[in-house]
Amino acid sequence: MFFDKIVAAPADPILGLTEEFKKDTRPNKINLGVGIYKTNEGNTPVLKCVKKAEEIILKNETTKSYLPIVGTPEYGALVRELVFGKDSEVLAANRARTAQAPGGTGALRIGADFLKQQNVTTKIWISDPTWANHFQVFGAAGIETAKYRYYDKNTHGLDFEGMKASLAEAKEGDAVLLHACCHNPTGIDPTKEQWEELAKFCAERKLLPFFDFAYQGFGNGIDEDAFGIRTFVKYNQEVLIASSFSKNFGLYNERIGALTIVSADNETADRVFSQMKISVRSNFSNPPAHGALIVTTVLSDPELRAMWAEEVKEMRDRIKEMRELFVSKLVALGVKHDFSFISKQYGMFSFSGLSKEQVAKLKEEFGIYIVGSGRISVAGITTSNIDPLCKAIVAVL
């Protein structure tokens, strides 16, 4: 037998939770595990700008022929403009190249494969904590992983000194994975001054920055959220960025993202691009068209682009509102524990500080699903589920 030695894998800490949630027959169950935006009615609708773009695409589409290995040049250019801003020196010098990828995860993976196959680096430093899949993605590509300190559980803030102390142990040539905004799972981002310091730190120590940019627009704004990356490219000539349009376009199941690599000059960028093509070709040959057509159509049409920015703002504002409400409801319920830090976090998630045992109790006794680390998807809180949620949290504290 070939497979009799195979050991069953544990369920995925995030997507496995959704599978469990679906099987739960309790009518009042609440899923705050996976990072999916919900309206106050508890739906994840298709954005209006996306629907409009799809009408245009359906009318004008003439072929289902293959896309280029790295996607279309139009898509790549729009992604780069979103990441670096129109007036970026990186764009003027034409020293960045973009490959379309299946979601942010696909972008991370082709980036990891590129780094490994081209012997660019052998090790990447990843924040502790981080998105549950990061270690797996880089590990699968054969890149060694190490952790750097990030979260201070006493202050519920960034352990900036600890972060620098950990990264001081990195060797020249190591890569560093950074969450460009809305750190997953903590919701804690560096300040502008800290980004500046980190950018110089990585440049001086010759560490290769690799950004995971999955939540552009969910923190402070579409351009504002790119501050870290735009600061880094001022000091670091070589940078990788994995973009995702799952959240900010609501295109979760279209699997649409991009890997952008910045090189020192245009000629190097061409050589890098030729190798990026091999990473794509050996993984999934060439990308699917629909999600990229949507993003391209929306971003290149001023009216649709404005509509998109407005819809992203709506999502961002609703999450912020839920953060405030969450904190005030807990206070109203007489909770002694200070949860005010939740309203200072950015993005879809809140790192609640709840223990594994408390998380397990929430699931078993109340049908409330959150990630084992205590990460709550604030984007899934509504005015209908917030009361039972807060009462249940009070009961398990």
Active-site amino acid positions: 131, 212, 247
Classified as helix, coil or strand, 192 is helix
Q: Residue with structure tokens 């589409």?
A: 61
Q: Extract the tokens encoding 213.
A: 């940019």
Q: For the packed helices 290-300 and 73-84, what is the interaxial angle rounded to 10 degrees?
A: 60
Minimal distance, residue 50 CB to ligand LMR, in Å: 19
Minimal distance, residue 155 CB to ligand LMR, in Å: 23
Task: Tell me whether residue 209 or residue 380 sits nearer to ligand LMR (CB atom).
Answer: 380
35 binds ligand LMR (CB under 6 A): yes
As a whole number of angstroms, the distance between CA 171 and CA 189 comes to 24
Strand segments, DSSP code E, in the chain are 30-31, 96-101, 123-128, 144-149, 151-152, 157-158, 175-179, 208-213, 239-244, 257-262, 349-351, 368-369, 375-377
Task: Tell me whether residue 184 or residue 382 sits nearer to ligand LMR (CB atom).
Answer: 184
Minimal distance, residue 34 CB to ligand LMR, in Å: 4
Task: Tell me whether residue 131 or residue 201 sits nearer to ligand LMR (CB atom).
Answer: 131
CA distances from 261 to 104, 135, 179, 376 (A): 14, 21, 16, 32
21 binds ligand LMR (CB under 6 A): no
Are the beta carbons of 130 and 124 closer than 8 angstroms? Answer: no
Please, which residues bridge with residue 393 across strands? none
- Which 307-366 residues touch ligand LMR, going by CB under 6 A? none
Out of 17, 34, 83, 330, name the contact with ligand LMR by CB under 6 A.
34
Minimal distance, residue 37 CB to ligand LMR, in Å: 11
Out of 84, 131, 211, 346, name the contact with ligand LMR by CB under 6 A.
131
Task: Tell me whether residue 131 or residue 151 sits nearer to ligand LMR (CB atom).
Answer: 131
Q: Residue with structure tokens 């020293």?
A: 95
Task: Tell me whether residue 35 or residue 111 sits nearer to ligand LMR (CB atom).
Answer: 35
As a whole number of angstroms, the distance between CA 259 and CA 107 comes to 5
Minimal distance, residue 192 CB to ligand LMR, in Å: 25
Are the beta carbons of 362 and 392 closer than 8 angstroms? Answer: yes
Q: For the packed helices 386-396 and 356-366, what is the interaxial angle rounded to 10 degrees?
A: 130
Q: For the packed helices 386-396 and 302-332, what is the interaxial angle rounded to 10 degrees?
A: 40
245 binds ligand LMR (CB under 6 A): no
Please, which residues bridge with residue 151 across strands? 158
Minimal distance, residue 5 CB to ligand LMR, in Å: 29
- Which 139-158 residues touch ligand LMR, going by CB under 6 A? none
As a whole number of angstroms, the distance between CA 38 and CA 45 comes to 8
Query: In residues, how long is the chain?
Result: 397
151 alpha carbon, distance to own chain's centre: 17
Task: Tell me whether residue 184 or residue 279 sits nearer to ligand LMR (CB atom).
Answer: 184
Task: Tell me whether residue 75 or residue 131 sits nearer to ligand LMR (CB atom).
Answer: 131
Are the beta carbons of 41 and 385 closer than 8 angstroms? Answer: no
Minimal distance, residue 198 CB to ligand LMR, in Å: 23
Number of residues in contact with ligand LMR, rule: CB under 6 A? Answer: 6
Task: Tell me whether residue 14 or residue 376 sits nearer to ligand LMR (CB atom).
Answer: 14
Minimal distance, residue 157 CB to ligand LMR, in Å: 21
- Residue 331: DSSP 8-state: H
- State the residues that interact with ligand LMR by CB under 6 A: 14, 34-35, 131, 133, 184
